[in-house]
Amino acid sequence: MTHSHEELPLADQGGCGDGCACGDGEGYETGLDPQLAELLEAAGLDPIEVEDVATLALAEDLAGGEDVTSVATVPAEAVATADFTARSAGVVAGLRIAEAVVSLVCEEEFEVERHVEDGDRVEAGQVLLSIRSRTRDLLTAERSALNLLCHLSGIATATRAWADALEGTGAVVRDTRKTTPGLRALEKFAVRCGGGANHRMALSDAALVKDNHVIAAGGVAEAFRAVRAAYPDLTVEVEVDTLEQIPPVLEAGAELILLDNFSVEQLKEAVALVAGRARLEASGGLTLADARAVGETGVDFIAVGELTHSSPILDIGLDLRA
């Protein structure tokens, strides 16, 4: 269940101070600072969705109460500067999302200093983002902000490794719908930060005819023709698992074919068989060690579900300045 701000023990108003050069933007129905909302939208994120995720994360952490440790140990008037610092090298994603989390907690205006941008490569020990505000608020927001920032940066880092391995081959690494419920838009944003491309965001964006659809329709070509007849303007991708299935799919008019669990040699044969008449995507059991060999077969895309469902976090911490 998504909680409204009124149901949470959060600040009535948050926002950046003069240090982050906030403007007086209008048009966003969120509790986020207008400039921050604009930055999120420019990155392809819905500010309202980001606010909802941040609110839910904080609600889970506070559980209707307060941060008892910080309240007990930190004077209410204490102010500090917190540095979000990389503990290991990688690619960062989610800085503005972490900023949104903090903004929902802060009872006073706060100042933000942005040292890097999403998609930047960072080194261990590098400061990514600095926020000055009430110490209690910073500590209350710390874990929720870091959970999202570390997770998304881990996805971006893993994606960058694939993108680097494929550089020069012409192939592009793409994600799948194997995402964490509620975090799909953020995780796919992290893939983009890492140099990858997004597949469909939802079942309604495009059609992907898979093995169960083929069984239901009575054949690969039959399934493709059924989708094309029902949705003539929609992108349709057809999954095949043998070379023999490719010619009838091509004849039916398929423009994008998913080659499922093909070996490198089979991928080469498929590329030669299709001869540019359709775009090709390799999928199934692919590893980073095989990435370049797969890319060099001539396929257009490589689908990697583990980008969103199995990437380890990038270790990032929050340090209060003495």
Closest CA to 67 of 2, 15, 137: 137
The catalytically annotated residue of 177, 200, 210, 225 is 210
What is the DSSP code (8-state) at residue 314? P
Per the annotation, the verdict on 210 as an active-site residue is yes
Q: Read off the tokens for 194.
A: 């890492």
Q: Read off the tokens for 305.
A: 């579900």
Question: Tokens 């209410």 appear where?
Answer: 76
Q: Read off the tokens for 316.
A: 């990032």
How many Å apart are CA 156 and CA 171, to the nearest integer?
18
The catalytically annotated residue of 49, 107, 117, 143 is 143
Per the annotation, the verdict on 66 as an active-site residue is no
Per the annotation, the verdict on 178 as an active-site residue is yes
Per the annotation, the verdict on 239 as an active-site residue is yes
Whether the CA torsion 187, 192, 194, 200 is positive or negative: it is positive
Closest CA to 239 of 214, 273, 216: 214
Per the annotation, the verdict on 143 as an active-site residue is yes
The catalytically annotated residue of 67, 109, 137, 239 is 239
Q: Got the DSSP string for 27-68?
A: ---SSS-HHHHHHHHHTT--HHHHHHHHHHHHHHHHTTS--H
The catalytically annotated residue of 114, 178, 277, 292 is 178
Three-class DSSP category at 257: strand
Active site residues: 143, 178, 210, 239, 260
